[in-house]
Amino acid sequence: MMSRTRFRLIVVLVLLLLAATQFSVGGLGFAYAQVTRFALATKSGPIALSADDTILVSVNPDNNSVTVFFVGNDQNQVIAEVPVGREPNGVAILPNSRFIYVANTVDGTVTVLSFDPASRAINVAALLEVGTEPYGVAVTPNGTKVYVTNAHSDSVSVIDTASNTVAKTITNVGPPVGAEPRGIAITNNGNDSDTDETVYITHFYSFANQGKLDGEDDSKTGLITKISTETDSVTGQIVMKNMADTGFLATGDAINKQVSTEKNQDGSLKPTFTTGAYPNQMQAIAIKNGFAYVPNVGASPNGPVRFNVNTQALVHILDTNTNQDTGLTINLHKSVATQPEGLKKRFLAVPWAIDFKSNENAGYVVSAASNVIVKIAVDPTTGAAIVAPSPIDGAVHQVPVGRNPRGIVINNANTRAYVMNYISRDVTVLDLTRFPEQPLATMRSAPLPAAGSPEELVLAGKELYNTSIGEFAASVGNMSNDGWQSCSACHPFGLADNVVWIFAAGPRRTLGQHQDFAGGVMRTLNWSGIFDEQQDFELNIRGVSGGQGLLLNADGSALEEGPKIGGLVIGDPPALAVANSLRGQLQVRTPSGGLVNAWDAIIAYVKTIRAPISPLAKSTDPRIAEGRQLFISNNCQSCHGGPKWSSSSIAGPVTDLAQVKAGQVIDQLRNVGTFNPDDRNEVRANGNPPLGADGFVPPSLLGVFSTPPYFHNGSAASLDEVFSDKFAVHRSVGTGGIDGLLNPDDRAKLVLFLQSIDASTEPINP
């Protein structure tokens, strides 16, 4: 008979054995530990990893789903692709993996998924209403709260994970959150309380610098908002420092009408003017050693336009102890430019995400447009960072990943990095223990479109729009010079970057391309109507980005070169250029292996770009309805009517030279008193007087609430200012000069209506 002592010993041994045994989950070796907290600071992103490094979740924005992977022991297998809301962009997972939180940007909701590690069962536990266009999602270190940035209602939702309810919404009442909140990072002091941490929130766009002129290299700057996890309220903001010297020189200073007096041996102007840049498109933030790192697209808008002085690839560094910008901003582009001579350059366009190793002072920045991640080394004392050079040849240490990477997470063991690739719809698994880092696997996150389908054509165009390198288009360099920038560098998500650029025609605030088409009809492009077809943006690819382009000679023998590309009028006497839509196009390979015309693909994508969603679109505020009537009674629809909310409409390339004046499709312009030639930023990129005296193409009002400043040169900082006495001519154009908006209350109602306009608003016909 077995003694009690021996029986107890056997029981203890069995329990110990069970504790050390991997639970089998559907054939997967699944080591699941009840980990209750994250070891490091947390952050938002489109990809998330559990605290025990076994469960990985990635969003699929184009497929309205998330995919859950088991990555323990490098098994890298799909558990399930789960439908969620429309356009999921952010995901967070609790430390114990029990709940997954997904921000559905179009629906304005957060899907809460319950996950049972033992059975692999995934169910919808809750669907939470949050703000307009939720984007970033991050969980506190102990998993008691989840923070959600609502990009277009300028708020942050706080979710209580015990009840899976929205416990609070932090708005602009009291200390304001600020416009376009996007990325999130949460400190981790190592204790078991989540009420003593700080939440850092990025704002996607920069804010106007008081006293600065739109178009100058320091006209705006970025802000980071701090939130206390104890009170769930805003406690302050950090002002990001602009970069006074990007390390790249220009051939002049357009706003100050100065031109370089030095020339190169070939007679061209020698760049001698220092250029600066301000941070913009702050999508992400991550914390390491008490410092916060913010990758962003630096804007350097003053002319002359030259590919390497307009956008920069920056990482700002903030001290979370002093809550100040360290001023140690690094320019990733400069690191590439200064690597040893003879090495191939691939610039690091559109820095979009960042993560760090825990066992060394190193991390990786995701270059969304160049399809790589780049390694950086950081100083734990000062926060200073450098781009890590390769010990082999001194080149910038870049690691190729998938198409259009947008998120990265590194496991606790510091052995693996997982990179979410938006366009290729997969996740790259990298072995960080080897040099150079090696791809271990590529995990399919969502299915690609069917071969030859319209969706596949759109995806091909989306890749071209978002790439800086053009590898997809047969050779590197088609879309920009050595991967400097992409279309999305100035049109994130196909929309506007809210920058006023000093371009060849004059100061031009970026317009979102969501307004280009409606009902199959295109509005005339550019503020001055100098483009009459989408293919004319070839001029931007070549002239602004320095790329080789996508249009061919008439016989298809080679890429077209010469002055006819992108222009309406050429020669002296002037003559109409051959329509760019009639030229041959470079063909690109689709994911299924087929070939499509490059510009046809880009246009197919542009037609799918959605407008920003207004937080007032569903409002029942009676003042909005009154504002709509004021819009109609003041005949605003004469310029801003129809399905595009713009009177501009063009059926195809202009064929009559009489329709063109100074390169402008003249009948598409409206002179509404918004051009003042004496404004200091009214200047072309070369310092000469700009276009504008004949008026401008009326911009669309779709999503106008989200795109300050206003008018072609940013002369109105807000919609309220658009209707101020300064622009009284503009508000009375539709009524033949009779000002029906003298009453400030009426103007306020009209502004409310404008702020409510999005794709769901019933258009007003002229």
Separation of alpha carbons 305 and 543, rounded Å: 8
Chain CA centroid to CA 469, Å: 18
Separation of alpha carbons 509 and 708, rounded Å: 9
Separation of alpha carbons 449 and 132, rounded Å: 29
**Nearest residue to 285 via CA among 197, 189, 182:** 182
pLDDT of residue 556: 65
Is the model's pLDDT at 738 over the cut of 90?
yes
Give the tokens for residue 578: 């051959």
Separation of alpha carbons 579 and 653, rounded Å: 6
Q: Greater confidence, 24 or 30?
A: 30
Separation of alpha carbons 17 and 11, rounded Å: 10
Separation of alpha carbons 410 and 368, rounded Å: 17
**Nearest residue to 28 via CA among 66, 67, 78:** 78
Domain range annotation of the chain: 40-447, 461-606, 622-756
pLDDT band of 158, cuts 50, 70, 90: very high
Separation of alpha carbons 756 and 766, rounded Å: 19
Up-side HSE of residue 75: CA atoms within 13 Å toward CB? 21
Up-side HSE of residue 275: CA atoms within 13 Å toward CB? 31
Is the model's pLDDT at 507 over the cut of 50?
yes
Give the type of residue at 661: K
User: What is the rounded average pLDDT of the residues 529-551?
Assistant: 91
| Residue whose token pair is 């204790």 | 191
Separation of alpha carbons 699 and 628, rounded Å: 18
Separation of alpha carbons 537 and 521, rounded Å: 17
Q: How big is the chain by its Cα radius of gyration, in Å?
A: 27
Is the CB of residue 507 less than 8 Å from the CB of residue 712?
A: yes
Class of domain 622-756: mainly alpha
Q: With DSSP H G I counted as helix, E B as strand and the rest as coil, what are the percentages for the chain, rounded to 5?
A: 15, 30, 50
The per-residue pLDDT for range 107-126, each reduced to its tens digit, is 999 999 999 988 999 999 99
pLDDT band of 18, cuts 50, 70, 90: very low
Is the CB of residue 586 less than 8 Å from the CB of residue 552?
A: yes
Up-side HSE of residue 72: CA atoms within 13 Å toward CB? 20
User: What is the rounded average pLDDT of the residues 121-140?
Assistant: 98
| Residue whose token pair is 């009459």 | 532
**Nearest residue to 462 via CA among 487, 481, 484, 442:** 487
Residue 506 CB: number of other CB atoms within 10 A?
27
User: What is the rounded average pLDDT of the residues 705-726?
Assistant: 96
| Residue whose token pair is 């190193």 | 362
Write the DSSP symbol of residue 366: E
H-assigned helices in 112-229 = none
In 179-310, the DSSP E strands lie at 181-186, 198-203, 207-208, 220-221, 223-228, 233-239, 249-250, 252-253, 258-259, 273-274, 286-288, 291-299
Is the model's pLDDT at 20 over the cut of 70?
no
Is the model's pLDDT at 5 over the cut of 70?
no
Is the CB of residue 525 less than 8 Å from the CB of residue 386?
A: no
pLDDT of residue 250: 96
| Residue whose token pair is 């002179």 | 671
Question: Any residues with CB less than 8 A from the CB of 616 and at least 6 apart, and which?
Answer: 624, 705, 752, 755, 756
pLDDT of residue 664: 95
Question: Any residues with CB less than 8 A from the CB of 482 and at least 6 apart, and which?
Answer: 336, 345, 346, 347, 476, 546
The per-residue pLDDT for range 642-686, each reduced to its tens digit, is 999 999 999 889 999 999 999 999 999 999 999 999 999 999 999
442-453 exposure pattern, b = at least 16 Cβ within 10 A, e = fewer: bbebbebbeeee
pLDDT of residue 33: 54
Is the CB of residue 255 less than 8 Å from the CB of residue 681?
A: yes
Rounded percentage of the chain residues whose pLDDT exceeds 70:
93
DSSP string, 549-581: -SBB-TTSSSB--STTTT-SEETTTTEEPPPGG
Is the model's pLDDT at 191 over the cut of 80?
yes
Give the tokens for residue 405: 């990477």
Separation of alpha carbons 358 and 393, rounded Å: 27
Is the CB of residue 220 less than 8 Å from the CB of residue 203?
A: no
Separation of alpha carbons 388 and 374, rounded Å: 8
The per-residue pLDDT for range 290-331, each reduced to its tens digit, is 999 999 999 999 999 889 999 999 999 999 999 999 999 999
The per-residue pLDDT for range 364-420, each reduced to its tens digit, is 999 999 999 999 999 999 999 999 988 888 899 999 999 999 999 999 999 999 999
Give the least confident one: 47-61, 91-105, 648-662: 648-662
In 151-257, the DSSP E strands lie at 155-160, 165-170, 181-186, 198-203, 207-208, 220-221, 223-228, 233-239, 249-250, 252-253
Separation of alpha carbons 740 and 633, rounded Å: 8
Give the tokens for residue 33: 């530990």
Domains 40-447 and 622-756 share a fold: no
Query: Which residues are 126's β-sheet partners?
Result: 112
**Nearest residue to 411 via CA among 36, 9, 73:** 73
pLDDT band of 13, cuts 50, 70, 90: very low
Judged by DSSP in three states, 608 sits in: coil
pLDDT band of 557, cuts 50, 70, 90: low
For the chain, report the end-to-end CA distance as a whole number of angstroms: 98
Residue 426 CB: number of other CB atoms within 10 A?
22
Cα dihedral sign for 375, 383, 148, 116? positive
The per-residue pLDDT for range 432-486, each reduced to its tens digit, is 999 899 999 999 999 999 999 999 999 999 999 999 987 654 445 789 999 999 9
pTM summary value: 0.94
Give the type of residue at 367: S
In CATH, which superfamily holds the domain spanning 40-447?
YVTN repeat-like/Quinoprotein amine dehydrogenase (2.130.10.10)
Give the tokens for residue 630: 């004021």
Is the CB of residue 80 less than 8 Å from the CB of residue 120?
A: yes
DSSP string, 21-61: SPEEETTEEE------S-SS-EE--SEEE-TTS-EEEEEET
* Average pLDDT value over all residues in the chain: 92
Q: Is 383 left (phi over 0), alpha (psi -120 to 50) or beta?
A: left
Give the tokens for residue 12: 């203890």
The per-residue pLDDT for range 616-650, each reduced to its tens digit, is 999 999 999 999 999 999 999 999 999 999 999 99
Query: Which residues are 502's β-sheet partners?
Result: 507
Is the model's pLDDT at 606 over the cut of 60?
yes
Give the least confident one: 3-12, 127-136, 342-351, 485-494: 3-12
User: What is the rounded average pLDDT of the residues 222-247?
Assistant: 97
Angle 238-244-246 from CA coordinates, rounded to 5°: 110
Is the CB of residue 363 less than 8 Å from the CB of residue 461?
A: no
Give the tokens for residue 521: 């009809």
Separation of alpha carbons 711 and 713, rounded Å: 6
Is the model's pLDDT at 28 over the cut of 50?
no
